[in-house]
């Protein structure tokens, strides 16, 4: 007889604990999936085994029996340990963490119509790509990574390489060494749009049958089968977005995080985990090597490298020796003074014309979709806002609708102002739709396309557009951050950054870092072939330290100044931030509960060098009809565990709440990437 500690599949705080059962099936082990009777429920619940013992627990007179042990699948023990770690680090329930580990969906009754790897299997074995010779910089980096892989020790490497320096080839060589050791590999990419490009490189080198893929664009049946290929040992390389960090490999030996600085590695739903931190912990549990690659490392990663937590490896030249693109900054204030009301400066328009005349392609980057960013009455100042979220709505000319980019609500734009009755309704602020339209009007002979969240919604559209651009059938590609990172096309002669200020003034301590990264990453799409490229940055703040540093590619200067700012202001990496968000349909109930929790927290802060800030309306003060307030806790890193324990205690206490407090939802988040 064995005794097992089980987490039951029941999403409530009151059952967020281990429940012990007897089990007569000797096959049961940590990670097994079981069926168990629970409480007075007539139906059985699924459970996940977190611990197995030969001895019964003390002081327990009666135990119920496990009904059955699943033969379909089990979770690797390291993922069970990861679940426990996530529960405490991210202040979530055990079952919330387990949901990240289990296969998405169920086994399909019949095979999906399309295997996501079929197109890669068309590559014949004899056409598989051979490894190109490494540059001196690539070889030096690989020589430092290789011993870690063979020693099976946990090591973290920050591969800091300029755009097009050949970081991917270093990943491929490290992957080959890991497979030779009989271990598995996880490759993380930040965007779904980049997954096919990465999959093609790894399948070309190692064969499609050795690769699995995981991202949200797959059907549930496809994702289930890809998950099982990894769990059964049929594939040894998993390529995917952030959730692929939980690939069910028995022996992961290498985890690569490409574009490690990207905010998409932070989950936006519970549990709000950070895939980078999760990768570091999984490597520590498994004795694996981690490579974090970026041309613009995050401030936190660079700080960790300074402190010796990561080993920094540098690639300072492009692999084909092509120089980095030249950069021009255009002051849009002067353009206005000169009477230019176009979205394109005179220099930008001339640059596009010259590039197209040379037979080269153009990428225009603006991190704001839609046609106009807000709709207003010029007579009274009325701004059209979402009725459920309270934020300004974006005009989409293609659909002729105003859309809320948070809840997705769409409404017709009124002809008459609802406040004053005038007809002076106008559109302000350019989005990607407007840039595409302006480019098509100014250069009618050019083929223009747009790649943003709106066009990407249609299945297969990302791949179609990128394939056409790669074949030279699109002359001007307009887009948001989807075009700013990871794309590798040889014929791009000009990158135009239409409005570098868009991300600079958002209410987020990472805004400067984010702006620097987007400018440098977008700039890196130019001149990747044999010919040098050019970048034009349009801005109303040419003197800003971030834009100036990005235009020079001077990361060391930017990092030094940014660390000073964060240390003075008390932001990560010098502190941890815990954010508690309270939401509910009644604003008074939300305020009362937030104030009550604040008083409890504030009574604990005196001697802990921490700061607990009074409840304030969240930046998105109303979302989907629910009012939102938040409490911010700034804690020294060494004290963060203390605050996490307190938050866990508050969650347990709130699970027993009644009355108006029970109508308020509290969500905790560690080091949020956004304060919205």
Q: How far apart are the first and last CA of the chain?
A: 51
Q: Beta strands 237-240 and 184-188: pairing type?
A: parallel
> Which residue, among 316, 313, 315, 319, has the nearest Cα to 145 in the 3D structure?
313
**What predicted TM-score, i.e. pTM, was given to this entire model?**
0.89
> Which residue, among 45, 60, 34, has the nearest Cα to 12 in the 3D structure?
45
* Average pLDDT for 127-139: 85
Sorted by sequence, the CB contacts under 8 Å of residue 657 that are 6+ apart come out as: none
Is it the case that residue 126 has pLDDT exceeding 60?
no
Q: Which two tokens stand for residue 55?
A: 């001895």
Q: Residue 255: beta bridge partners?
A: 186, 290
Position 590 confidence tier, pLDDT thresholds 50, 70, 90? very high
Q: How many Å separate Cα 169 from the centre of its chain?
A: 23
- Sheet with 33-36, strands from edge to edge, namely 19-23, 2-8, 45-53, 33-36, 68-69
| pLDDT confidence of residue 606 | 59
* Average pLDDT for 166-193: 94
* Percentages of the chain per state (helix, strand, coil), in multiples of 5: 35, 25, 40
Q: Per mean pLDDT, which range of 44-53, 55-64, 284-293, 623-632 is the poorest?
A: 55-64
CATH architecture of 2-101: 3-Layer(aba) Sandwich (3.40)
Position 664 confidence tier, pLDDT thresholds 50, 70, 90? very high
Query: Is 575-670 the same fold as 326-369+431-565?
Result: no
Q: Per mean pLDDT, which range of 27-36, 124-133, 278-287 is the poorest?
A: 124-133
* Average pLDDT for 182-198: 88
Residues 594/600/601/603 CA torsion (nearest 10 deg) = 140
| Mean pLDDT of the chain, nearest integer | 91
Residues 536 and 551 sit within 8 Å (Cβ to Cβ): no
Is it the case that residue 194 has pLDDT exceeding 80?
no
Position 344 confidence tier, pLDDT thresholds 50, 70, 90? very high
pLDDT in tens, 463-487: 889 889 999 999 999 998 888 776 7
| pLDDT confidence of residue 608 | 63
pLDDT in tens, 608-652: 678 899 999 988 888 888 999 999 999 999 999 999 999 999 998
Q: Which two tokens stand for residue 100?
A: 């990240």
Q: Beta strands 401-403 and 394-396: pairing type?
A: antiparallel
Sorted by sequence, the CB contacts under 8 Å of residue 260 that are 6+ apart come out as: 158, 276, 292, 293, 294, 297, 298, 301
Sorted by sequence, the CB contacts under 8 Å of residue 599 that are 6+ apart come out as: none
Position 125 confidence tier, pLDDT thresholds 50, 70, 90? very low
Q: Which two tokens stand for residue 562?
A: 């940014």
326-369+431-565 folds as Rossmann fold (3.40.50)
pLDDT in tens, 429-449: 888 999 999 999 999 999 999
pLDDT in tens, 68-116: 999 999 999 999 999 999 999 999 999 999 999 999 878 888 877 788 8
| pLDDT confidence of residue 374 | 80
* Average pLDDT for 651-673: 88
Is it the case that residue 377 has pLDDT exceeding 50?
yes
| pLDDT confidence of residue 122 | 65
575-670 folds as Alpha-Beta Plaits (3.30.70)
**Where exactly are the structural domains of the chain?**
2-101, 118-315, 326-369+431-565, 575-670
pLDDT in tens, 240-296: 999 999 999 999 999 999 999 999 999 988 999 999 999 999 999 999 999 999 999
pLDDT in tens, 14-25: 899 999 999 999
Position 123 confidence tier, pLDDT thresholds 50, 70, 90? low
Q: For a pLDDT cut of 90, what percent of the chain falls above it?
A: 66
CA atoms of 98 and 34, how far apart (whole Å): 14
* Average pLDDT for 654-660: 82
Which H helix or E strand runs over 351? Answer: helix 346-357
User: 249 in helix, strand or coil?
Assistant: coil
Query: According to DSSP H, which parts of 379-528 are helical?
Result: 432-442, 453-456, 461-470, 511-523
| pLDDT confidence of residue 124 | 43
Sorted by sequence, the CB contacts under 8 Å of residue 480 that are 6+ apart come out as: 365, 366, 367, 368, 369, 432, 451, 452, 453
Q: What CATH code is assigned to 118-315?
A: 3.40.50.300
Is it the case that residue 368 has pLDDT exceeding 90?
no
> Which residue, among 372, 367, 425, 368, has the nearest Cα to 395 in the 3D structure?
372
């Amino acid at each position: 007889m064995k005794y097992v500690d089980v987490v039951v599949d029941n999403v409530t705080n009151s059952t967020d604990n281990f429940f012990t059962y007897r089990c007569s099936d000797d096959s049961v082990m940590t990670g097994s999936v079981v069926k168990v009777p629970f409480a007075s429920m007539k139906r059985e619940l699924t459970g996940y085994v977190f611990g197995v013992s030969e001895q019964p627990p003390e002081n327990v007179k009666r135990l119920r029996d496990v009904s059955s042990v699943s033969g379909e699948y089990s979770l690797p023990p390291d993922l069970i340990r990861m679940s426990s770690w996530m529960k405490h680090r991210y202040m979530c329930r055990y079952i919330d963490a387990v949901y990240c580990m289990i296969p998405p969906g169920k086994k399909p009754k019949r095979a999906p119509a399309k295997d996501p790897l079929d197109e890669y299997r068309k590559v014949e074995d004899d056409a598989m790509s051979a490894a190109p010779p490494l540059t001196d910089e690539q070889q030096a980096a690989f020589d430092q990574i290789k011993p870690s892989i063979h020693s099976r020790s946990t090591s973290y490497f920050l591969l800091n390489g300029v755009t097009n320096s050949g970081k991917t080839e270093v990943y491929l060589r490290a992957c080959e060494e890991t497979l030779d050791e009989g271990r598995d590999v996880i490759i993380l990419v930040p965007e779904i749009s980049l997954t096919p490009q990465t999959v093609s490189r790894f399948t070309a080198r190692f064969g499609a049958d050795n690769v699995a893929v995981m991202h949200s664009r797959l059907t549930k049946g496809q994702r289930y089968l890809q998950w099982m290929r990894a769990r059964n040992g049929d594939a040894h390389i998993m390529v995917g977005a952030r959730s692929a960090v939980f690939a069910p490999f028995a022996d992961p030996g290498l985890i690569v995080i490409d574009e490690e600085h990207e905010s998409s590695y932070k989950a936006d739903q519970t549990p709000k985990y950070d895939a980078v931190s999760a990768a570091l912990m999984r490597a520590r549990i498994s004795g694996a090597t981690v490579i974090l690659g970026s041309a613009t490392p995050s401030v936190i990663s660079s700080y960790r490298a300074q402190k010796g937590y990561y080993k920094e490896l540098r690639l300072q030249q492009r692999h084909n020796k092509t120089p980095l693109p030249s950069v021009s900054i255009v002051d849009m204030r002067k353009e206005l003074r000169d009477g230019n009301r176009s979205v394109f400066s005179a220099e930008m328009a001339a640059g596009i014309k010259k590039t197209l005349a040379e037979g080269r392609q153009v990428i225009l980057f603006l991190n704001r979709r839609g046609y106009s960013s807000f709709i207003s009455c010029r007579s009274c100042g009325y701004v059209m806002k979402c009725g459920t979220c309270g934020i300004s709505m974006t005009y989409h000319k293609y659909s002729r609708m105003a859309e809320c980019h948070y809840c997705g609500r769409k409404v017709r734009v009124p002809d008459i102002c609802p406040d004053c009755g005038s007809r002076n309704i106008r559109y302000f602020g350019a989005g990607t739709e407007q840039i595409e339209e302006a480019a098509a009007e100014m250069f009618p002979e050019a083929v223009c396309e747009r790649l943003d969240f709106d066009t990407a919604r249609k299945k297969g559209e990302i791949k179609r557009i990128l394939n056409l651009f790669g074949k030279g059938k699109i002359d001007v590609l307009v887009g948001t951050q989807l075009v700013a990172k990871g794309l590798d096309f040889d014929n791009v002669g000009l990158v135009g950054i239409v409005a570098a200020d868009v991300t600079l003034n958002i209410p987020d301590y990472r805004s400067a870092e984010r702006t620097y990264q987007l400018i440098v990453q977008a700039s890196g799409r130019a001149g990747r072939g044999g010919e040098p490229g050019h970048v034009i940055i349009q801005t109303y703040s040419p003197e800003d330290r971030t834009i100036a540093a990005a235009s020079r590619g001077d990361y060391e200067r930017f990092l030094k100044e940014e660390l000073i700012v964060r240390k003075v202001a008390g932001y990560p990496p010098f502190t941890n931030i815990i954010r508690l968000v309270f939401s509910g349909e009644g604003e008074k109930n939300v305020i009362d509960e937030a104030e009550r929790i604040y008083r409890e927290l504030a009574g604990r802060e005196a001697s802990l060098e921490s700061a607990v800030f009074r409840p304030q309306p969240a930046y998105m003060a109303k979302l989907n009809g629910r009012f939102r307030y938040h409490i911010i806790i700034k804690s020294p890193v060494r004290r963060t565990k203390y605050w996490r324990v307190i938050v866990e205690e508050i969650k347990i206490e709130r699970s027993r709440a009644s009355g108006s407090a029970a109508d308020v939802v509290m969500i905790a988040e560690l080091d949020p990437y956004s304060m919205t």
